[in-house]
Amino acid sequence: MSKLIDFAAIKEIQRKSRQGEAGRLRKEFNRSYRALLDSSYEEIRDNVSGYISSTGESVTCAKGCAYCCEHFVSVPVSHAIVATDYLYASENAMSAFLRSYPAWLSAIEDNPAAKAVFDKLEEDTTLRAIVKQSSEELRSAYHHFAVPCPFLVSKRCSIYPVRPIACAAFFSLTSPEFCLAENEIPVVHFQSVPSPAKLKRMSELTNYRLWAHQESLPKLVYRLLTVGLPEVSREVDKLFNTPQQPGEDDPRP
Ligand code: SF4
C-alpha cells in the first residue's frame, strides 16, 4: 500500500516553512520549546537518580535495548513541529524515517486487528482523551503487534534529542526481557514527568489547538513533512470546530 514519496514536494514544504514572519516565529518557537524540552529531560534524569539512590533499585534500560519502542506514542502537534524541524536539520534522520515509514504504516494498515486498535488509540488521543486517557489495555493490545517505531534505526532513536516526553519518562526496573511484546509478566516501571509548570510553559508556546490535539508521532510528523503545517493546522481547527477567525491574529505556530 506504500506510495512513492515525493521528495521534491517535501523540500518545497520545508522551504516554505522557513519563509517570512511565520518562518521566523517557527524558528523562535523551536528554540524556546527545545530549551524547555532539554530541561524536562534533565528533570526526568534527576528524578530517576533520586529514586535510585533513595530505594537502591536499578534501572535496567540500556543502550541498544529498544523493546519499549514498539509502543503507541502520541504527541501534541507542537511537539511534532519540533521533531519535523529536527529532521529538516538532519538529512540522515530524515531519509531513514522516510524509508521506514511505509513499512511501519503497512504493518498497521495491512493487519485489520492492529489497525482497529491503532485507530481507537488515535481517536483517544484527541482533547477528549487527555481527560479520559487511553486505557492501558488498548495500549498493551497495540504493543502485542510489536511494530517498531519508524524513528528507530539500528535500535537507536534517530530523533533522540527531541524524543517525546513519553519516551523519555519511562524506565524499567525489571529484566529487559520483561519488556518484550509477547511477555505476559507485568513490567515494573518508574515513571517521571516534568513539572506541571514546565508543561504549562510548553503549552503556551503555540496556540492551544496545536498543543491540545495529539496524534501518533510518526503519522503526524509524516503529514507535517508531506502536507505542511498550514494544512495540518486547518485540519486541527476543524476537529475543534472552532476555526480561527479572520482578524483573530495568533502569531504563534
Ligand atoms: S521516538 Fe524514539 S524513543 Fe520514542 S518510540 Fe520512537 S524510536 Fe523509540
Pocket test for ligand 1, best of 69, 79, 139, 171 (most atoms within 8 A of CB): 69
> Which range has the worst mean pLDDT, 81-90, 130-139, 164-173, 192-201?
130-139
Whose Cα sits closest to atom 1 in ligand 1? 163
Q: Is the pTM of this model over 0.85?
A: yes
Residue that has been written with the C-alpha cell 476555526 in this structure:
243
Q: How confident is the model at residue 160 (pLDDT cuts 50, 70, 90)?
A: very high
Residue 163 C-alpha to ligand 1 middle, in angstroms?
6
Residue 21 C-alpha to ligand 1 middle, in angstroms?
32
**Ligand 1 site residues, Cβ closer than 6 angstroms:** 69, 73, 149, 151-152, 157, 159, 163-164, 167, 217
Q: Which helix (H) or strand (E) covers residue 71, if one does?
A: none
Pocket test for ligand 1, best of 86, 152, 219, 220 (most atoms within 8 A of CB): 152
Whose Cα sits closest to atom 5 in ligand 1? 69
Which residue, among 157, 167, 164, 149, has the nearest Cα to 105 in the 3D structure? Answer: 149
pLDDT per position as a tens digit, 94-126: 999 999 999 999 999 999 999 999 998 888 766
pLDDT per position as a tens digit, 203-234: 999 988 898 888 999 999 999 999 999 999 99
Which residue, among 221, 226, 224, has the nearest Cα to 9 in the 3D structure? Answer: 226
